[in-house]
């Protein structure tokens, strides 16, 4: 099935199915570290909704058929939905690019970082997402110039930050993606 535009929910049969969803737990902490699920929709250039998984990914507020994941260690330009602001430079292209990497219905693996919190202040999971053919969807966003490395000040540095920074250096030098049209992409280079 061809992917729809980012932000388009998956058909209900895909969104509600949990067949094949699995999680691997960290024995030390008793919480999942790797979770298999599927993409429901891309929300913006660094946020994705996935299928909830019993005992591992609870449904997000407002929609029982999805769980929201914020890609860990990066930031993309904001769409500013629900605000009286226009999208930031590169926001639409970053969102569509991530939608091409993570089309609706695609089986993916969420991986939590051992050094960082698993959820943010909005209740979203903070995780890396791996898709078939791409080791790390966030790294692909950075490499292709649609996001930059970032994590909140005062929080532990994610494990992949060094690799993300190297990829961003190359993307900036090559004027890749949104770097070809925007003075800045996302919030910058990390704390």
Q: pLDDT, tens digit, for every residue of 85-126?
A: 899 999 999 999 999 999 999 999 999 999 999 999 989 999
Reported in sequence order, the residue ranges of the chain that DSSP labels E, i.e. its strands, are 23-25, 32-44, 47-50, 67-71, 74-75, 107-111, 125-130, 148-149
Q: What pLDDT was estimated at residue 80? A: 84
Q: What are the sequence ranges of the domains in the chain?
A: 12-179
Q: What pLDDT was estimated at residue 3? A: 36
Yes or no: say if 188 and 148 are a contact pair by the CB < 8 Å rule.
Answer: yes
| More confident call, 55 vs 13 | 55
Q: What pLDDT was estimated at residue 112? A: 97
Average pLDDT for the chain: 85
- How many Å apart are CA 19 and CA 94, to the nearest integer? 30
pLDDT at 11 over 50: no
Look at the alpha carbons of 83, 88, 93, 99 in this order and tell me if their dihedral is positive or negative.
negative
Query: pLDDT tens, 160-176?
Result: 999 999 999 999 999 99
- How many Å apart are CA 18 and CA 132, to the nearest integer? 18
Q: What pLDDT was estimated at residue 174? A: 97
Architecture of the domain made up of 12-179: Beta Barrel (2.40)
DSSP secondary structure letters along 80-138: -TTTTSPPPTTHHHHHHHHHHHS-TT-EEEEE--TTS-SB-TTS-EEEEEEBTTBS-HH
3-state SS class at 161: helix
Question: DSSP class of residue 150?
Answer: -
Query: pLDDT tens, 70-87?
Result: 999 999 999 987 778 899
pTM for the whole structure: 0.82
Percent of the chain at pLDDT exceeding 90: 68
């Amino acid at each position: 099935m061809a992917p729809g535009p980012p932000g388009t929910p998956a058909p209900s049969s895909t969104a509600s199915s949990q067949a094949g969803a699995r999680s691997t737990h960290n024995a030390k902490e008793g919480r999942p570290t790797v979770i298999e699920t599927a993409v429901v929709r891309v929300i913006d250039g660094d946020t994705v909704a996935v299928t909830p998984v019993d005992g591992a990914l609870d449904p997000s507020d407002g929609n029982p058929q999805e769980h929201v994941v914020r890609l860990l260690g990066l930031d993309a330009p904001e769409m500013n939905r629900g605000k009286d602001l226009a999208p930031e430079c590169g926001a639409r292209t970053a969102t569509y690019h991530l939608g091409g990497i993570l089309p609706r219905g695609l089986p993916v693996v969420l991986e939590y970082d051992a050094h960082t919190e698993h959820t943010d202040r909005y209740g979203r999971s903070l995780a890396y997402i791996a898709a078939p053919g791409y080791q790390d969807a966030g790294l692909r966003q950075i490499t292709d110039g649609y996001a930059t490395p970032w994590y909140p000040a005062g929080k532990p540095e994610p494990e992949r930050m060094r690799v993300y920074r190297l990829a961003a250096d190359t993307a900036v030098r090559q004027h890749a993606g949104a770097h070809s049209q925007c003075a800045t992409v996302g919030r910058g280079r990390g704390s």
